[in-house]
Amino acid sequence: MKKIIMSLLGAAALTLFASSAIAGGHKSAAAPTTVIHVVTVSWNDDATEAQIQAALDGVHTLAEEYEGITRAWTKTIKAQGNRSHAFVMEFKSEKALKDYAGSDAQKNWYKVYIDARKASTTFDITN
């Protein structure tokens, strides 16, 4: 009985290992083609918490209004250097990011964002 249980446990472990290896290999083969738009921000000295929050909330509004944005993140957990906040937008493609620049959606958000922003640094990343 003990040999049967050990054999079953061994077979289960082997199955899990093989499944993990297959799934892990699949992930690397299917690298995302979206574009991650990472922005680190420092705010004007006179920017209020309400202005900052409106700018960050606007990132989520952009994701709802601009079809090329699939996801947005605005909760900064850790910040280094001279920036206090960061946000991220995921674009469907490089073309979606390119079309976003100067779009009505961006212009509307800038009405809130630019007045509060002191400086920012942007990185656009894809595979």
Number of domains in the chain: 2
81 and 101, same domain (yes or no): yes
16 pLDDT higher than 80: no
Closest CA to 12 of 20, 23, 1: 20
DSSP per-residue string spanning 56-109: HHHHHHHHHH-TTEEEEE---S---TT--EEEEEEESSHHHHHHHTT-HHHHHH
91 and 46, same structural domain?
Answer: yes
Report pLDDT digits (tens) over 18-66: 444 445 554 556 888 999 999 999 999 999 999 999 999 999 999 999 9
Please give the Cα distance from 105 to 101 (Å, whole number).
Answer: 9
CATH number at residue 101: 3.30.70.100
Q: Are both 14 and 44 inside the same structural domain?
A: no
Q: Are residues 101 and 41 in the same domain?
A: yes
Same domain, 87 and 106: yes
Q: Which residues of 2-19 are buried (b: 16+ CB within 10 A; e: fewer)?
A: eeeeeeeeeeeeeeeeee
Asked if 40 and 4 sit in the same domain, the reply is no
| pTM, entire model | 0.75
Residues in the chain: 127
pLDDT at 106 > cutoff 50: yes
Domain residues for the domain of 113 are 35-125
Are 103 and 89 members of one domain?
yes
Pair (69, 7) in one structural domain: no
